[in-house]
Structure 1
């Protein structure tokens, strides 16, 4: 019979091998040249396996978040993206281990209604301990990932409450529970990058429509996301393709729709990838505590989940590496980092965990955000 020491060593080896297999699936299957190599993954696993994970709080068990390990708390702070029309093994494993809170689906993940239902069932079954975030962009018009689902027209042509409810019912029927809509931006010029996606150029009309849309999405059983805080209407460059700086923003007009969304108890708000020099000349909104903590949390009293826009956007990539972006985003006040590049999830996960182990203050920040995400999941269906 092997000695207790030998048994412990064997268990550590098995755990390490399993972790390597999981993460290697990401590195090999991601198809992204920036994805970490199998050797890098193995080095991380070897270095971290024997070391106990620090407790995120001195009194575990007091709240649901305290029942999660640090890795699981970190996992709640990431929504990932994958390729293909079925969920890869690494995605299912990450959901099962709670090393991610969910996934975002794009057009290349969707072929028809039957396939989409199979895919969302896969994602849900992979997460037996929590309802995963199963999300997409379904604004209407040019941004409509599920082509056969409403709303067919862009936001300017919608009846906000009615069309949002119809869209929510369609998404829910196909297994999705979060929509990254409505757009709450107020275009301020004909050159605005958001002009074709907004409800109106009238801030009062946008505020009314945003409120109605949030309520419509809720009535249809899907969580809405007001975007892009604190207002992207003054940007003439799409932040997906280049950096944008909006002088003088946010104005009262920019903030009116977000105030309306908060009054309607919108569950999520997406932070903007533009820069707002009046509030923070050095950082984009998604990496600015002045914008997310001081303005959104303290002044506007938002208590829900704040999620980044895609960290693969050109305006974000210009600010640093995936690791730096992930840590800065959470430290600034986001609760979820939206990773849409293949392989970015693993890099963000590793960086957030490492920073949480290094810094007690950041570890508490992780815990706070994980608690918010858990509360959101409790209300998802």
Structure 2
């Protein structure tokens, strides 16, 4: 009875506060004084509280909840958020933010606490949802001191939903400790196009059942640790040949293919209780031949809401991407997306573009282009997530605790174990494993991360290691000849190739010139696993799935590269191909060493 009286009193304080702006401002440094988490928490109680909050919000405060700006540091990534970010939070009432590329867990925690402090000092003190892309662990957007896992294609290669769930749990533990409450993961895209320039190793693979089971497992892992998840990119970005960062992709498959292949993982995600779904800047001709999914009412409302019965948050992909911004502009596209059925606009552009987004949405409501009913529906979904994840009472984090939780030794051990399970031994013409106890001359060549691979070889073996790296991903003819000349002194050769779409011809030529030396050559694909199709006569071949299209990972924390070297020197590989490599190696193929 005492608890009930306390809650009633707290709610009466809230009602008094929101009816008196001056009183709210006086109490704004502690939003808990006027917003309390329902006790006991339930969807019904949360919905009631969300609606009471909405009833006391201004139009601008409501619009703020529906825009997710990217934060900007003062100057460099190791500096706190700038005054323009404060303005977006305090003057435009941003309800969520997305963050990219910060220094370490302790700094990240302080950075996120500053953002929440600014939000707490607004009229209603509504907490932020702080988000990031953490697709392969918190390392994805925290530069150091956290845990790195293989990309999703590597997770798919393990064939283990237990692995997928464990990866998600560890990532979520670290994320939540640093103040992140929303992770834009997992990708539910089925990568059916080997030349896909933007998804690739970010996808679990080419089969819907694999992607569906892995997607569901990761959702379970993330949400078990109180992190909001997003299945992306609806209704599927896996069969595109255009990168939506730079152009507007169109897919032409029929509705049956859409349903059976590309929608299946999203259906599984909804069944698993996913909190949110992110849209794709892709035209799906079978549904709407004129507008990309992000702006299409047929896709977002007709397909996702009505046919698939999704009730969670629909968030757009970054609206600054050329697929949207170059054609419709930030402000106009934001209005189109909300009209189509989106709930949150991801405003990742400049400060001026962010302001344009807020003001365009406000004007659309004022003019009646966007109804208040439509806005209230989306605000309710956002507030429900904030209540569900206890952000009103637990918005701040402890930087020291974050530092302790991130990159625990057992987390690192688990990441190394997952990496070994993901490495796929595709071909072995009796050249593997190399003997780590025999002195031999090993030449390591490639177009990226060669120093790391060479160092890993040196650390695991007694070999004499020399290395060579091309000046770019498309080595010049004279560079290829230089590498071949250096390889003449080697007993064995390891060559690392990297593709983010099709393998450049120059890299294929490099491998062939090394083969012409007559020495055993083992190739490791660092990106997509299809590289071997361009140099099929190589003696040995491993797929690591280590580096995505941006090629920006820090190799000193990439377990997949070290695991590849471990397998070369005798560690048992565990991966099975999550894709088909032309007519050479089928889906599910994977070799192992005889014990």
TM-score (norm 2): 0.52
Match of 1:347 in 2: 356
Query: Secondary structure of the equivalent of 1:224?
Result: strand
Structure 2 residue aligned with 1:120? 112
Label 1:96 to 1:215 Cα distance change in 2 as closer, same or farther (>3 A).
same
Deviation at 1:328, TM superposition (A): 0.4
Structure 1 residue 260 displacement after superposition:
0.9
1:256: which partner in 2? Answer: 264
Matches within 5 A, 1:60-139: 63-84=52-73, 85-96=79-90, 99-107=93-101, 110-128=102-120, 129-139=125-135
Say which SS state the counterpart of residue 186 (structure 2) adopts.
Answer: coil
Task: State whether structure 2 residue 243 is matched by structure 1 residue 238.
Answer: yes
Q: Secondary structure at the match of 1:301?
A: coil
Matches within 5 A, 1:238-317: 238-248=243-253, 250-317=258-325
2:200 partner SS: coil
Q: Is the 8 A contact 1:165 1:219 kept in 2?
A: yes
Aligned twin of 2:494: none
Q: Is 1:170 aligned to residue 199 of structure 2?
A: no
Which segments of 5 or more consecutive residues in structure 1 lack a partner in the other structure?
A: 1-60
Distance in structure 1 (CA, Å) of the matches to 2:127 and 2:274: 19
Note the alpha carbon deviations across 1:120-175, whole angstroms, 9 max, x for none.
Answer: 11111222222211110011189911244334210122321110110000111111
Structure 2 unaligned segments of length 5 or more: list them. Answer: 1-49, 74-78, 156-162, 392-595
Q: Is the 8 A contact 1:181 1:224 kept in 2?
A: yes
| Alpha-carbon offset, residue 98 of structure 1 | 6.3
Cα deviation, residue 337, structure 1: 0.4
The structure 1 residue matched to 2:385, chosen from 362, 376, 380, is: 376
Q: Structure 1: how far apart are the matches of 2:195 and 2:259? A: 18
* More deviation, 149-158/260-269: 149-158
Are the structure 2 counterparts of residues 220 and 329 from structure 1 closer, same or farther at C-alpha, using a change threshold of 3 Å?
same
Q: 1:296 to 1:307 in 2, by over 3 A?
A: same
Q: 1:179 is matched with which residue: 177, 183, 189?
A: 183
- Paired with 1:324 and 1:126, the residues of 2 have a C-alpha distance of 28
Compare relative contact order (CA 8 Å, sep 6+) and give the higher one, 1 or 2. Answer: 1
User: For residue 325 of structure 1, what is the aligned residue in structure 2?
Assistant: 333
Query: C-alpha separation between the residues in 2 aligned to 1:142 and 1:76?
Result: 25
The alpha-carbon deviation at position 92 of structure 1 amounts to 2.9
How far apart are the structure 2 equivalents of 1:62 and 1:80?
A: 24
CA distance in 2, matches of 1:119, 1:319: 34
CA contact (8 A) 1:292 1:333 kept: yes
Q: Report the counterpart of residue 154 of structure 2 in structure 1.
A: 157
Counterparts of 1:101 and 1:277 in 2: how far apart (Å)? 33
Instruction: State the Cα distance separating 1:319 from its structure 2 match.
Output: 2.5
Q: Which moved further from structure 2: 84-93 or 215-224?
A: 84-93
Displacement of 1:238 in angstroms is: 1.6
The question of whether the paired residues in 1 share the 8 Å contact of 2:212 and 2:266 is answered with yes
Are the aligned partners of 1:151 and 1:163 in contact in 2 as well (CA < 8 Å)? Answer: no
SS of the equivalent of 1:253 reads: helix
The 10-residue stretch of structure 1 (332-341 or 240-249) with the greater mean CA deviation from structure 2: 240-249
In structure 1, what is the equivalent of residue 200 of structure 2? 195
Assess, with a 3 A threshold, how the Cα gap between structure 1 residues 150 and 259 changes in structure 2: closer, same or farther: farther
Distance 2:52 2:305 in 1: 22
Q: Relative to structure 1, is the Cα distance of residues 332 and 212 closer, same or farther in structure 2, using a 3 angstrom cutoff? A: same
Alpha-carbon contact 1:270-1:309 (below 8 Å) kept: yes
Tell me what 1:216 maps to. 221
3-state SS, counterpart of residue 175 of structure 2 = helix
Are the aligned partners of 1:82 and 1:342 in contact in 2 as well (CA < 8 Å)?
Answer: no
- CA distance 1:317–1:206, shift in 2 (3 Å): same
- Provide the C-alpha distance between the structure 2 equivalents of 1:73 and 1:379, rounded to a whole number of angstroms: 19
Provide the C-alpha distance between the structure 2 equivalents of 1:166 and 1:277, rounded to a whole number of angstroms: 39
Match in the other structure for 2:136: 140
Contact 2:191 2:238 in 1 (8 A): yes
Aligned residues: 319
- C-alpha spacing 1:182/1:150, structure 2 compared with 1 (3 Å): farther
CA RMSD of aligned residues (A): 1.9
Shift of 1:99: 1.6
Distance 1:76 1:287, change over 3 A: same
Report the 3-state secondary structure (helix = DSSP H, G, I; strand = E; otherwise coil) of the residue aligned with 1:124: helix
SS at match of 1:139: coil
Q: Distance in 2 between matches of 1:142 and 1:117?
A: 13
Rg comparison, structure with higher value: 2
1:227 deviates by 0.1
